[in-house]
Chains A and B, each alone.
Chain A
Amino acid sequence: MDGDSAHSMEAEREMTRLWRTFRTVYELLADRGYEVSDNELLLPLEDFRAKYSDPLGYPDRTKMKIQARPTETMKMKYTALPSKANPNPQPDCGTIYVDFCPDSSGVGTKQVRAFNHLVDENNFHTGIFITQTPISPSAVRLLSGVPGRICEHFQEQDLLVNITRHELVPKHVLLSPEEKAKLLERYRLKESQLPRIQISDPVARYLGLRRGQVVKIIRKSETAGRYASYRWVI
């Protein structure tokens, strides 16, 4: 009897944790500019439990697969400026696919290879691989080495809390190529003269920033009300 209740307690805890991760994933997709409905953003725990639990009450990660398409604003932000060589540029973004890895330990090249294959086969532009434990160094390299596709990795515990909702994290806004060009012209700068932000920065990872983009960071200021700074992703 005691064993049973201990089991269900543990299942309940895991379910709640995963629910929070799951909601953060939807917030992440919405913040990046993908099409996400309000129902998905505000999914209550009961619905999540009903939908994604196995008969024992534990979460069933194999069911938790998410796909989302970019919105028009996002497409605009990811379209390069037309140039002589490329007068009609296409947006460099597309359908995103999120996969939760069901293995509780030892995630290595095998799982990552399967994930890469899946992304490639279904022609997704971006893939996010979410695991419970850290993945091996070779797996990281394998994940980033898919030509023409972007594969990212997060741990479940990294997404337990949405870091961008913390009061000490300022608002990061991605600039479109057009806005970036205007900024550089306004301040008569080369992009290499901007302050920088690492691509491995937690917020940069959250927003899926790419090398060469410029992000606008808006902080609260006691004297000026708002203070904006710009950083070049490197």
Chain B
Amino acid sequence: MAQQGSSHPLKTSLPETYAAVNAQQPPPSHLYPTQEEQDRYLAGRPGATQQHLEVALQHAQQIQTQKDAEDAILNRILELIELPSSPSADPAAPSQEDTVKLKYSLAPFRPSDYDNLILERNFEDLCGYALCPRKHRRQATGPRGGFQFKYGPKGSGPGGRGRSVDIVSQDRIEKWCSDACAERALWIRVQLSEKPVWERRAGDTRGTTILLLEEARAKRLKAPAATSSVSSVVDDLQSMGLGNRDRSGELALERGDTSLVRPDGRVDVNIRENQGGSQQVAGAPQMRPEDANGGSIEGYVPRERRGADQDGDIDLLDQI
């Protein structure tokens, strides 16, 4: 059945390719074997029913969809290698056209597909970030596949002293042209969905709404500022009227406190000393008669001593 499908270009759930198929071949039934073909197929197999054939066809369609999706992803990787459109493009301020293309193309990607894209771009001597026209870094020294120390800025070490040191494998550094591009590219990677595109549901927005790092930063700046001065915090607290007696009573009720809150904000505490305990002072241990031979150990009297006590069982061997 898959061969049946492959003679026609595409059977797919991707909107773009679906539209293309529909433009070329008006009836979707064209992709299906005709009734006559189905009958002929069933005639040769006595055990098979129409239901079997339909199940088989459905599975074939699903497999075809997967293949189409993988082909589409491959084509998009090939397209994205060509980005950005101008060799002087700035990765920090990409052109509108490239941005739209990148976001559109990345929609069916999984993180592993994105890694393939980065790999392909590096093979073409380009930075792994799709909107960057520069070459990727090349460390001249050291053997390939080694590790390197990477020093952070001054004051980034533990406790704000010295520099932080990372040990990074060389090919991870060499994927990008700069740390900024690495950040941009990986920022996109974490937004991609792990689910393959043919398993995604219609309402799944993860992976389809991708933000570039610059856009995300701009958005965060526009949002109400999280940081504020000390005086504004004080003003805010005062405006809440926490010191107000009635208000605090209300708040206490709201919390579910049952006891009344004292006006000065503290709980009534009475300290009472513990009295009436035994006043006896423990005396020193005294000698008792049974202690002469060492006494018993928790009720057990050792045998040697027991024999001596009872004056019996004299060991004859000792006497001979």
A contact set with B: CB distance below 8 Å:
106-110, 136-139, 141-142, 145
Nearest opposing residue in chain A for B144, CB measure:
A105
CB-based contact A141/B123 at 8 Å: no
With the chains together, A90 CA to B78 CA distance in Å? Answer: 36
Contact B120 A136 (CB under 8 A): yes
For residues 47 through 92 of chain B, which have their beta carbon under 8 Å from a beta carbon of chain A? 70-71, 74, 77-78, 81
Contact (Cβ within 8 A) B116 A107: no
* Of A106, A107, A108, A138, the contact of B74 (CB 8 Å cutoff): A138
Given the known A-B contacts A108-B124, A110-B124, are A141 and B74 also in contact in the complex, defined by CB atoms under 8 Å? yes
The answer, yes or no, to whether B119 is at the interface (CB within 8 Å) is yes
B122 near A: Cβ within 8 Å?
A: yes
Closest to B77 in A: A138
Contacts of A145 in B (CB 8 A): 71, 74
Give Cα distance in the complex from A109 to B79, angstroms: 11
3 pairs of A and B residues whose beta carbons are closest in the complex: A108-B123, A106-B123, A138-B116
What residues on B are CB-neighbors of A109 within 8 Å? 77-78, 81, 120, 123
CB pair A137 B122 closer than 8 Å: no
Chain B interface residue count: which class? 10 to 19
Q: Bound state CA distance, A139 and B122, in angstroms? A: 14
Main secondary structure of the interface of B (DSSP, over half): helix
Cβ A136 vs Cβ B70 within 8 A: no
A110:B70 contact, CB within 8 angstroms: no
Given A108-B120, A109-B81, A136-B119, 8 extra CB contacts under 8 A: A108-B119, A110-B124, A136-B116, A136-B120, A137-B116, A138-B77, A138-B120, A141-B74
Smallest CB separation, B91 vs chain A (Å): 21
Residues of B within 8 A of A (CB): 70-71, 74, 77-78, 81, 116-117, 119-120, 122-124
> How far in angstroms is the closest Cβ of chain B from A105?
8
Q: Are B71 and A107 in contact (CB under 8 A)?
A: no
Chain B residue numbers with a CB within 8 Å of A138 are 74, 77-78, 116-117, 119-120
Nearest Cβ on chain A to B80's Cβ, whole angstroms: 11
Return the chain B residue nearest A106 by Cβ.
B123
User: In the complex, what distance in Å separates the CA atom of A62 from the CA atom of B197?
Assistant: 41
* Chain B residues near A107 (CB-CB < 8 A): 123
Question: In the complex, A107→B77 CA distance in Å?
Answer: 15
List 14 A-B residue pairs with CB atoms under 8 Å apart, sorted by A's residue number: A106-B123, A109-B120, A109-B123, A136-B116, A136-B119, A136-B120, A136-B123, A138-B78, A138-B116, A138-B120, A139-B120, A141-B70, A142-B74, A145-B71
- CB-nearest residue of chain B relative to A136? B119
CB contacts (< 8 Å) of B123 on chain A: these are 106-110, 136
Shortest CB-to-CB span from B244 to chain A, Å, is: 68
- How far, in whole Å, are A50 and B120 apart by their CA atoms in the complex? 36
CA–CA, A141 and B117, complex, Å: 13
A21 to B71, CA, bound (A): 33
Return B48 CB to nearest CB of chain A, in Å.
15
**Cα distance A141–B74 when bound, in Å?**
8
CA distance A139 to B123 in the complex (A): 11
On chain A, the residues within 8 Å of B81 by CB distance are 109
Q: With the chains together, A14 CA to B70 CA distance in Å?
A: 38
Q: Which residues of B contact A106 (CB under 8 A)?
A: 122-123
**B70 contacts across to A, CB distance below 8 A:** 141
